[in-house]
Structure 1
Amino acid sequence: MPPSRSASTATPCTSGWPKIWLGDEAGGQEEQLDGNLILFSGNDYMGLSSHPAVREAAVKAAQDYGMGPRGSALICGYTTYHKLVEESLARLKKKEDCLLCPTGFSANMAAITALGSITSLLSPGRKPAEHERIAIFSDALNHASIIDGIRLLERQQEALVFVYKHCDMFHLDFLLSSCSLEKKVVVTDSLFSMDGDFAPFPELIKLRRKYGYLLVIDDAHGTLVCGENGGGAAELFECEKDIDIGVGTLSKAAGCQGGFITCSTQWKRLIQSRGRSFIFSTALPVPVVASVHAALYVSSKETWRRSVIWRHVQYFASLTKLEITSPIISIVVGSEAGALRASRYLLRSGFHVTPIRPPTVPPNSCRLRITLSASHSSDDIKRLVDALTPWLPVKYGNGSYATASKL
């Protein structure tokens, strides 16, 4: 059970941070808000970003070694701290090896572009024939870092890309059966950041066994949140051995900064030698990596934090009658103006909930994106739901939803 509230378990708020800048949404005006705001728009799921052990680890490393890493990982930026974190993440994800990257974005880019480079390696000195390329099958709602990596492969003519409808396994099956290329890769987010839904892992695994493709997942929002040990979505769905390459971030549930790739040592060596966003980026600073190491340790010991997150998910669902399956909750408002108006109302009610607008989501699907944290209390969630009432969809007896009238 969680301890009584302390500095490490207090409700996440904006106290101690610069004033909120509403930017263009407020016509270029800065809006002064009195008091603290309860943060429901961050990704600090486990509440580790302000944990004393995490902060102390960063401070001690900064005092002992300074801030800057002094170079890329392949030059002089790789330290014992980096090695320890890679080993910890490999164990957590039940993979042979791990590669730390500066960000989750660069990790996805490095993994995908390295896979595409196989085509060039097999056709040195010439343009690869179409049958020599790899085929990449990507979910329509994958993260921008996956999309950008795939676009780069297309420009370099290293891959043929097929985008399947969001979580539609019938469409994916059709595309796979229609593709004659031998080397196939399926890449998907594990937990989608805008809708809060999981990839259909059981069906993905069945198709993997049918077609023999390489399965790559971006577990940015699942790592430390899902599974008994925090191993992520693959642990939750009991399919860790079926994941060939897993990408993750350390800036969400770990409460720190950075990205990582877990895979076999063979895949790691390929990414180290061909993943340009890894090769040509400065390594993570030692204080950051030290804080990550502490966060992973705390996560393994304070397992109540994961339990609290999922209790909050159930509580939010019971209050709103929404069919939610994760700590990411989208309340679709529609227009940009409506989403901005809703966000401002929540700000004045004491809650920081950011409006999500194009290009992150399609036009007329603007939304309030809410994330639940172990640091929230049940009272925080109850008061948020009360403030959200004008925008919560109403469920009718036939199972359909309609949006309630807005302020």
Structure 2
Amino acid sequence: MEIVIKTLEYLDNLRLYPKIKTVSSPPKPVVRIDGRNLHMFCSNNYLNLATHPRVIKSNVEGTKNFGTGAGGSRLISGSTDLHKELEKVISELKNCEDSLVFSSGYLANLGVISAMAAPARSVAKELTMNMLYSLKNETVIFNDELNHASIIDACKIANVAHIRYKHVDMNDLREKLKKNRNKRKIIISDGVFSMDGNIAPLPEIVALAEEFQAITIIDDAHATGILGENGRGTAEYFNLKGKVDLEMGTLNKVFAGVGGFVSGNTDLCRFLRVASRSYIFSAAMPPGVASGLITAIKIFREEPGLRNRLLKNVEYFQSGLKKIGIHVKYYPTPIIPIIIGDESIAMSIAEELFKKGFFIPAIRWPAVPKGKARLRITVMTEHTTEQIDGLITELEELLEKYGVKNNPVHLKTLITHNV
């Protein structure tokens, strides 16, 4: 217990313990917190589908018809018509043969990555000890150093060797693949990196995977519904559909529900249904949620204007930042980080923004490395140009006030961070 108290004291002394704000309204561009209306620029509800009337109606009807919970795991009693339909709709969206739905994106990564790392161990331990020994010692996971925490944790519990390569550094990845040429290899990367908004260099990853005969897994949590002509994600964005073995994703961002999924060919998905422990031993997502997600995906495909308006807001915000001297590299993703660097300054700026009516919590260690604290700003389809202009005005004033805007060190970080 003493170590717990000391840890809390350490976090409190350095202002690292998060002050969680309680939101008393839906995740719209304006939210209610502590009796005040604030402009929210930190939500993953990118297309504002969480409050779409058809999505809400579908969620309610699904709950009325199937109850508030599934009543079991997918392999026992938890697979309903709605879960199967959701998997079908996701497969059509991703243009893949099959898909599995998990209760969360975190569980999807834990289950899929650990199962793919040691497939025999997952299903037939007592029959294949020699194969198990070989897999444990011969499988190596190659993991971008800025991948999401769920990927990092999945690599740890997979109980095989995992090597972190420098962020989007394909030369580093190549050298590490070369050193493990004779091993069974799996390359894992975010499609869009959650704290930076930049896009993985998928063409180079696929080329290296083909050269070194590696399995590829891409986490499209922030790319599905955003990237590609039809919103199918990173592979479509680079015209590489069919070249990635497994495409992961979450259902709580663009599609505004909760859950995770994996899409791939029929054999891989059939295997994962009996090998992913987080799929086997977790209760299925509530049927009402599945119903709402089905409708959200249908709306997304029917109304491409939603995504087009989002990307226009992204461009508008980026151009506004450039006008005040913050030159972040443009990516067609709604995540726009402004690197402050110092944790205390980042906290102070976030607190002042809150007082001025803008809700953007500071992101700091351990979510990002020490010395790289930031404002992780996200825009939504329903943000107005007036709201964006208002935020840019406040940012310019606060960055100047705290010496960030004119500080050469911080300015260099701002300019080069996503290059």
Size of the aligned set, in residue pairs, is: 375
2:377 aligned partner, one-letter code: I
1:140 equivalent to 2:141? Answer: no
SS in 2 for 1:167: coil
2:112 aligned partner, one-letter code: A
331 and 266 in structure 1: CA distance in 2 versus 1, 3 angstrom threshold: same
Per-residue CA deviation, residues 180-203 of structure 1 (Å, 9 max, x unaligned), is: 334211000000001111001121
Instruction: Report deviation, 1:130.
Output: 7.0
130 and 231 in structure 1: CA distance in 2 versus 1, 3 angstrom threshold: closer
SS in 2 for 1:320: helix
Q: TM-score, normalised by structure 2?
A: 0.84
Stretch moving more, 138-147 or 308-317: 308-317
Structure 1 residue aligned with 2:348: 341
Instruction: Report deviation, 1:104.
Output: 0.3
Counterpart CA distance in 2 for 1:260 and 1:339 is: 34
118 and 63 in structure 1: CA distance in 2 versus 1, 3 angstrom threshold: closer
Instruction: Report deviation, 1:333.
Output: 1.4
Counterpart CA distance in 2 for 1:402 and 1:59 is: 47
1:381 equivalent to 2:388? Answer: yes
Structure 2 residue aligned with 1:124: 128
Structure 2 residue aligned with 1:26: none
1:361 aligned partner, one-letter code: V
1:124 aligned partner, one-letter code: T
SS in 1 for 2:51: coil
Alignment of 1:129-168 (within 5 A): 129=134, 133-154=138-159, 159-168=160-169
Assess if the C-alpha contact under 8 Å between 1:10 and 1:376 holds in 2: no
Structure 1 residue aligned with 2:378: 371
Assess if the C-alpha contact under 8 Å between 2:119 and 2:275 holds in 1: no
1:366 aligned partner, one-letter code: A
Per-residue CA deviation, residues 312-349 of structure 1 (Å, 9 max, x unaligned), is: 12111211122231210111112222111111111111
Stretch moving more, 131-140 or 167-176: 131-140
Alignment of 1:212-291 (within 5 A): 212-291=213-292
Instruction: Report deviation, 1:12.
Output: 2.0
Structure 2 residue aligned with 1:12: 29
Stretch moving more, 125-134 or 88-97: 125-134
SS in 2 for 1:36: strand
Assess if the C-alpha contact under 8 Å between 2:27 and 2:45 holds in 1: no
SS in 1 for 2:85: helix
Structure 1 residue aligned with 2:14: none
Structure 1 residue aligned with 2:7: none
SS in 1 for 2:30: coil
Instruction: Report deviation, 1:118.
Output: 2.3
Per-residue CA deviation, residues 93-124 of structure 1 (Å, 9 max, x unaligned), is: 11110000000000001110111222535982
Alignment of 1:5-404 (within 5 A): 12-15=29-32, 19=33, 32=34, 34-118=35-119, 120=121, 124-125=128-129, 128-129=133-134, 133-154=138-159, 159-321=160-322, 322=327, 323-325=329-331, 326-389=333-396, 390-391=398-399, 401=412
1:219 aligned partner, one-letter code: D
Instruction: Report deviation, 1:401.
Output: 2.7
Assess if the C-alpha contact under 8 Å between 1:119 and 1:134 holds in 2: no
Assess if the C-alpha contact under 8 Å between 1:395 and 1:401 holds in 2: no
Instruction: Report deviation, 1:13.
Output: 2.2
Counterpart CA distance in 1 for 2:65 and 2:75 is: 22
118 and 12 in structure 1: CA distance in 2 versus 1, 3 angstrom threshold: same
1:95 aligned partner, one-letter code: C
Assess if the C-alpha contact under 8 Å between 1:395 and 1:402 holds in 2: no
SS in 2 for 1:74: coil
Instruction: Report deviation, 1:177.
Output: 1.1
SS in 1 for 2:31: coil
Instruction: Report deviation, 1:297.
Output: 0.7
Deviant stretches of 4+, over 3 Å: 119-123, 129-132, 392-397
When you count helix as a share of all residues, which structure comes out higher?
2
**Structure 2 unaligned blocks of 5 or more:** 1-25
131 and 83 in structure 1: CA distance in 2 versus 1, 3 angstrom threshold: closer
